[in-house]
Amino acid sequence: MRFICKNCNQQFKGNYCNNCGQTADTHEINRHYLWHTIQHGVFHVDNGIIYTTKELFTRPGYAIKEYITGKRVKHFNPFAYVIILSTLYVLIAHFLHIDLFDKKISVTLSGDEGTKVTEIIGVITGISTWIKDHYAYSTLMLLPVFSLASYLAFKKSGYNYLKHLILNTYIAGQRTVIYILFIPIFACTENKDLISAIGNIEYLVWIVLMTWTYIQFFNNNKGFENILRTLLSFLYTGILMFLLMVFTGILLAIMIAK
């Protein structure tokens, strides 16, 4: 049976257009189509978010390497993965009334110096508010920093910078899943000491998972070297983030001075 592609008008046989790749089986857009799309595009256990999440927590480095080397049918797009999970993270925190960025600064200075500091704090607060309201995009914006750090640490591995970007995008998704799992725990307490302890555990879980991912991804029978290079990537990340903060601070100082 021959079909005429509704996307490019090419006549073809089979299940997919040989010109543009669109499926021959296009359904009318209704509630059944919407449910089918959500079920198979997001929650399908063979190639959706659930499958990708399972892979990232059972064989993370190997799964990411599969995606990079071309086995992508079952894996959810890394950038869409991060955006969806980050949005979900913020929505859950919002409904549970948890302030994810509760970092209030109290400064008591007088005169011109106090005014300048107050202006700087106002700008920083504005930036923090933007990050809170656009968590998904702020996460994506920091990915180049994390990717550069891992690229420098594992430069001899043979992976180019863009492949490191894919690697760290999936790792950002891992981190967001951990954040989502810890939200109910934070919601059950208001004790600051306990919240701090839980936050440390959350961070430790992420570090362990990230290290495991790097060891699997850069699997070259040099496990100890990979651990050292993972620690080196953390060091590079800290240095790059510090430089970024200094650069941002200089820009803020110039803006306020004007």
In a domain? residue 228: yes
Q: What's residue 174's pLDDT?
A: 94
In a domain? residue 215: yes
Q: What's residue 209's pLDDT?
A: 92
- Note the Cα 29 to chain centre separation in Å: 31
State the residue range of the domain holding 111: 61-67+76-257
In a domain? residue 46: no
In a domain? residue 108: yes
pLDDT, averaged per 10 consecutive residues of the chain (258 residues), comes to 82 83 70 61 63 93 92 85 87 74 42 50 55 69 91 90 94 92 82 79 89 87 79 90 80 70
Neighbour-count burial for 122-158, b at 16+ CB within 10 Å, e otherwise: eeeeeebeebbeebbeebbebbeebbbbbbbbbeebe
In a domain? residue 40: no
In a domain? residue 248: yes
Number of structural domains, the chain? 1
Q: What's residue 54's pLDDT?
A: 92
In a domain? residue 30: no
Which phi and psi (to 5°) does residue 16 adopt? -135, 145
Q: What's residue 161's pLDDT?
A: 94
Instruction: Name the pTM for this structure.
Output: 0.74
Beta-bridge partner residues of 11: 4
Whole-number Å distance between alpha carbons of 80 and 68: 16
Q: What's residue 118's pLDDT?
A: 52
In a domain? residue 139: yes
* Element housing 12 (H / E): strand 11-13
